[in-house]
């Protein structure tokens, strides 16, 4: 697979995942661009992976965390902290978006990473373990904790019953 | 529906709800990568060139400043020295240092002494020609003597050989007769440089410089016939080709002294003359042994020096002319309870470190070492990058530690152990510098 094909197939999904995670479409765009640039730089090695998108997703999350923190610091300096949710646009299914974004905000970095790899990138547990560089058991435990937190959040928000 | 499925469903809906955006062309990424590669290549090349330039500069600076040190030269007199005399000596010292290749050397007058920085190491030696006013005493050679052996005679030095068969050669042809050493002179001690300088008009038993490779021969020499002490027209040092080794200093005397030299040489035609420099015979030529008539030397004279440094220092000293007041590294001021010279020298050898730092900072500079008394008083002493330096400290117990301005090296004196400075007792300390 060449990079351009991979880029066309994966870019939008990564951008959407970052929009959900950081609740800022402009920031998500910047993060996605940067993540795919890093992927291109290392394409010879990344292309040999079973799931290059998992690698790009992790790079995007790491980059996003840095950029997000920097922006928060800048905004704090300017005393003009605007709630990022106000930048969300579109009328349909806004609730779903806000809920997932709020859910992701309540999670730790590793839990957020695991959830996105599992439910957005659709990786299996062994694949997530490989991408995250940890044991499968660790991934299972991380996902379990993240899902438990997510379920609780979903019940409180939508009164979902199992 | 399981919670996993609910979460999956929630994510699916959330992802789908994010507005679709146009995917930027991947060309932008490819272009950015190309620009980055070019920038990286340029940065590597310019960085490499910069590193080479800095390294070369640091190496040149390091090499030229490697032998640098600060030496304080005190007037060698018990009387008072005027500012004009010191200024004159300052000019002479600058001229000498420049002529031996230390063009970066500086000489300043400070507290009645001359402080030389970036000068040669040999300057700190008490026998350095650079700090003296060389006087060439021309004497006649009377007879030869071997090294001093047996009981030392306390009698007066004879003024002639014990037998005419030991007389120094008188040559009237190309063959020079072998002359034996006078055994009667073996018991007499060698005339010291101080005795020689103090009584130039008396007979003396002086060692002959032979490159330092064999047992010293001594010559019984007569009273000084001529003193050559003014500025010479030129003096150059060249490697000696004789088997005895050493270096030759070729001297061209100025016109007035050339005439005097010729006058003495003519008087002693076909006889041996000794050139006495600081109590050592540096040349003992037989005057034109292969000539039937005397011809002028035209001011030419050759002197022998043991080492290359001595040869160049002597040439510089002769060429620059005499010092107004002789100088010495030892203070002639009476030692009081407030000042004592401490000779601190040794392991300030960190050229590699200095080079590395020069690489980083591009400059070298001296630093300070704090000499701290037990009561907490601190004397901050400026130290050179390497070599010996002298600190004036009051008697007491000190600990010393310092950091050189240009480096991460901490230097300690006496390995961080307190040391005592006592009046009248010289102290030699090692300075150790270590990376932190």
What is the tens place of the pLDDT at every residue in A116-151?
A: 888 888 888 888 888 888 888 998 898 888 888 777
Per the model's pLDDT, the better-predicted residue between B366 and A113 turns out to be A113
> Helix, strand or coil for residue B134?
coil
Do the chains contact at A97 and B14, CB–CB below 8 Å?
yes
pLDDT of B392 higher than 60: yes
Q: Is the dihedral of CA B206, B209, B213, B219 positive or negative?
A: negative
Q: Is the dihedral of CA B172, B175, B181, B184 positive or negative?
A: negative
Q: What is the pLDDT of residue B336?
A: 31
Per the model's pLDDT, the better-predicted residue between B413 and A24 turns out to be A24
Cross-chain CB nearest to A92 (options B3, B7, B17): B17
Decide: B316 and B100 in contact? Cβ < 8 Å.
Answer: yes
Token pair for B220:
């019984």
**Residues A44-53: tens digit of each pLDDT:** 888 888 888 8
pLDDT of A81 higher than 60: no
- Of the listed ranges A141-150, B10-19, B118-127, B380-389, the least confidently predicted one is B380-389
Per the model's pLDDT, the better-predicted residue between B131 and B174 turns out to be B131
**Integer Cα distance of B238 and B300 in angstroms:** 15
Min Cα distance B32 → chain A (Å) is 8
Entry pTM: 0.44
Mean pLDDT of chain B: 74
- The mean pLDDT value for A77-99 works out to 50
Q: Search chain B and give the residue with CA nearest A89.
A: B19
- The mean pLDDT value for B224-237 works out to 80
Q: Search chain A and give the residue with CA nearest B10.
A: A96
- The mean pLDDT value for B102-118 works out to 85
Interface of A with B (CB under 8 A): 3-4, 7-8, 11-13, 15-17, 19-20, 25, 29, 33, 36-37, 40-41, 89-90, 92-94, 96-97, 99-101, 103, 115, 119-120, 147-148, 150-151, 154, 160, 162
Q: What is the pLDDT of residue B355?
A: 25
Q: What is the pLDDT of residue A89?
A: 44
**Integer Cα distance of B181 and B185 in angstroms:** 8
Please report residues of B whose CB lies closer than 8 A to that of A25: 18-19, 21
What are the b/e assignments for B64-100, b being 16+ CB within 10 Å?
ebbbbbbbbbbbbeeeebeeeebebbbebbbebbebb
Number of A:B CB contacts under 8 A?
Answer: 91
Min Cα distance A37 → chain B (Å) is 6
Do the chains contact at A7 and B32, CB–CB below 8 Å?
no
CB half-sphere exposure, B149, CA atoms < 13 A: 11
**Integer Cα distance of B78 and B59 in angstroms:** 44
pLDDT of B314 higher than 60: yes
């Amino acid at each position: 697979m060449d990079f351009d094909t991979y880029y066309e197939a994966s870019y939008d999904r990564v951008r959407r995942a970052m929009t959900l995670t950081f609740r800022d479409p402009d920031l998500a765009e910047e993060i996605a661009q940067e993540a795919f640039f890093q992927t291109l730089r290392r394409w010879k090695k990344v292309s040999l992976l079973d799931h290059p998108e998992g690698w790009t997703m992790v790079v995007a999350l790491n980059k996003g965390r840095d950029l997000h923190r920097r922006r928060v610091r800048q905004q704090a300096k300017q005393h003009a902290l605007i709630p990022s949710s106000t930048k969300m646009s579109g009328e349909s299914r806004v609730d779903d978006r806000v809920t997932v974004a709020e859910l992701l905000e309540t999670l730790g970095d590793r839990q957020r990473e695991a959830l996105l790899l599992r439910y957005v990138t659709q990786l299996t547990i062994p694949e997530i373990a490989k991408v995250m560089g940890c044991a499968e058991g660790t991934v299972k435990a991380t996902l379990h904790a993240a899902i438990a937190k997510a379920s609780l959040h979903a019940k409180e928000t939508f009164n979902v019953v199992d | 529906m399981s919670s996993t499925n609910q979460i999956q469903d929630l994510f699916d809906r959330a992802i789908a709800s994010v507005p679709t955006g146009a995917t930027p062309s991947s060309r932008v990424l490819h272009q950015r990568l190309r620009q980055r590669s070019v920038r990286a290549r340029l940065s590597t090349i310019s960085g490499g060139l910069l590193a080479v330039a800095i390294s070369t500069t640091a190496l040149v600076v390091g090499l030229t400043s490697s032998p640098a040190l600060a030496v304080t030269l005190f007037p060698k007199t018990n009387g008072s020295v005027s500012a004009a005399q010191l200024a004159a000596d300052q000019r002479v010292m600058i001229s000498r240092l420049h002529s031996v290749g230390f063009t970066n050397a500086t000489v300043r007058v400070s507290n009645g002494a001359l402080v030389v920085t970036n000068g040669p190491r040999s300057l700190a030696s008490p026998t350095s020609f650079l700090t003296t006013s060389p006087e060439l005493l021309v004497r006649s050679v009377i007879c030869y003597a071997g090294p001093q052996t047996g009981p030392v005679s306390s009698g007066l030095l004879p003024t002639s050989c014990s037998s005419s068969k030991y007389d120094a050669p008188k040559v009237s042809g190309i063959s020079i007769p072998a002359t034996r050493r006078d055994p009667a002179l073996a018991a007499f001690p060698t005339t010291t440089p101080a005795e020689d300088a103090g009584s130039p008009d008396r007979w003396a038993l002086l060692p002959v410089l032979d490159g330092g490779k064999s047992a010293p021969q001594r010559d019984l020499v007569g009273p000084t016939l001529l003193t050559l002490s003014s500025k010479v027209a030129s003096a150059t040092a060249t490697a000696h080709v004789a088997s005895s080794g050493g270096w030759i200093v070729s001297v061209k005397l100025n016109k007035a002294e050339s005439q005097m030299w010729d006058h003495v040489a003519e008087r002693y035609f076909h006889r041996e003359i000794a050139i006495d420099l600081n109590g050592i015979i540096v040349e003992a030529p037989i005057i034109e042994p292969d000539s039937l008539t005397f011809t002028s030397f035209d001011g030419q004279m050759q002197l022998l020096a043991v080492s290359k440094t001595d040869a160049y220092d002597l040439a510089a000293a002769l060429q620059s002319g005499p010092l107004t007041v002789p100088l010495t590294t030892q203070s002639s001021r009476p030692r009081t309870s407030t000042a004592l010279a401490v000779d601190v020298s040794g392991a300030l050898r960190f050229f590699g470190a200095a080079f590395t730092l020069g690489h980083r900072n591009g400059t070298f500079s001296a630093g300070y070492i704090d000499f701290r008394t037990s009561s907490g008083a601190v004397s901050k002493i400026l130290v050179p990058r390497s070599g010996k330096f002298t600190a004036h400290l009051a008697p007491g117990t000190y600990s010393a530690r310092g950091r050189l301005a240009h480096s991460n090296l901490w230097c300690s004196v006496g390995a961080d152990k307190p040391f005592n400075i006592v009046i009248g007792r010289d102290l030699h300390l090692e300075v150790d510098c270590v990376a932190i």
